Amino acid sequence: MKSIYIKLVTIEDVYTLVKTLLAFDGEVDLESGRYKVDGRSLLGIFSLDLTKPVKLIYHGAKAEELFAHLDRFVVENPEA
């Protein structure tokens, strides 16, 4: 299990995220506060507070490859 924080600004960002996640095996969760949703669920993602960075948790073998594809969404300091 590996995790990163990502920021989704536009609806297109959400669609791009889901499309990318569908290309990888393994479970993906997104956490925002006390809420956790399936990272491949558009409805689930839109139910989160996307005004702040969300935590992406990946349970799979190709985490580094996935994170490289998501580089444009990564937030280094989610508290700032």
User: What pLDDT, in 10s, does the model give residues 36-78?
Assistant: 999 999 999 999 999 999 999 999 999 999 999 999 999 998 8
With a cut of 80, say whether residue 14 has pLDDT above it: yes
C-alpha 30/C-alpha 55 separation (Å) is 5
Q: Could you tell me which of 9, 60, 61, 55 has the C-alpha nearest to residue 34? A: 55
Q: Give the amino acid at 40.
A: R
CATH 3.40.50.300 fits 2-73, yes or no: no
Average pLDDT rounded to a whole number, residues 28-35: 96
Please tell me the chain's helix, strand, coil percentages from 3-state DSSP, rounded to the nearest 5: 35, 30, 40
Which sequence spans correspond to the domains of the chain? 2-73
Cα distances from 32 to residues 18, 42, 80, in angstroms, run 17, 15, 15
